[in-house]
Amino acid sequence: MFGKYKQMLRRYRGMEMSEAHCRALLSISRSDARGYFRHCKVPGVLGHEPVEEEAAAAVHYLTAAAAASVVSLVAAATGVAA
């Protein structure tokens, strides 16, 4: 999942930083996230079982953390307080 994100950042390196990060984040699919959490052995995402509340919360947490990182990077690059 993070490899795909970094790959997409490289693809969009000619764009404005905030736009590149947003596009890279949006390139991560639900199946990418499930695969990452399955690899990390998060309960509820083993095999083809439906996603349980814990796994859904973990995906939500990761998404929120990534979004916060993008906001911080954009704020630092533009000199605007986040």
Instruction: Report pLDDT digits (tens) over 3-29.
Output: 888 898 899 888 888 888 888 888 888
Q: What radius of gyration do the chain's Cα atoms show?
A: 15
pLDDT value at 48 more than 70: no
Give me the helices (H) in the chain, please.
2-11, 17-26, 30-39, 53-78
The CA distance from 65 to 75, in Å, is 15
**What does the pLDDT read at residue 36?**
83
Residue 49 token pair: 């079982």
Q: What is the DSSP letter of 46?
A: S
